[in-house]
Amino acid sequence: MKVKDEQLEIIQKQQKDLNALLNNVGYMEARKHGLLHQFNELTMQVEEFKTKLENEYGQININVETGEYTIIEGEVTASKEPDLKVVENVQ
């Protein structure tokens, strides 16, 4: 027994289209993987350059359009030691 020729043609076309789509998805995933590696590399380069700038100028904010910068003022942080109180021993 056999399906009709028209039905077989539809099945074959659908399978061909599915395989083409899967092939494209695989290509896109491989491309995505490569782009993510490039992104990671560039991010590392940015961080390294920021460290060099910070060593030269200190902590600053840079306007990337003009090159002007402002110094980041350090925040005063509270002591992490707990407040200790003297308690008399009452008996």
Using the predicted structure, report yes or no on whether residue 78 has a pLDDT greater than 60: no
Question: CB–CB of 69/63 below 8 Å?
Answer: yes
- Asked, for residue 65, whether it belongs to a domain, the answer is yes
pTM: 0.62
- Asked, for residue 78, whether it belongs to a domain, the answer is no
- Asked, for residue 9, whether it belongs to a domain, the answer is yes
pLDDT digits (tens, 9 = 90+) for 41-68: 999 999 999 999 999 999 999 999 999 9
Question: CB–CB of 17/23 below 8 Å?
Answer: no
- Asked, for residue 86, whether it belongs to a domain, the answer is no
- Asked, for residue 25, whether it belongs to a domain, the answer is yes
Residue partners of 60: CB distance under 8 A and separation at least 6: 53, 54, 69, 70, 71, 72
Into how many domains does the chain fold? 1
Q: Which domain holds residue 49?
A: 5-71
- Asked, for residue 53, whether it belongs to a domain, the answer is yes
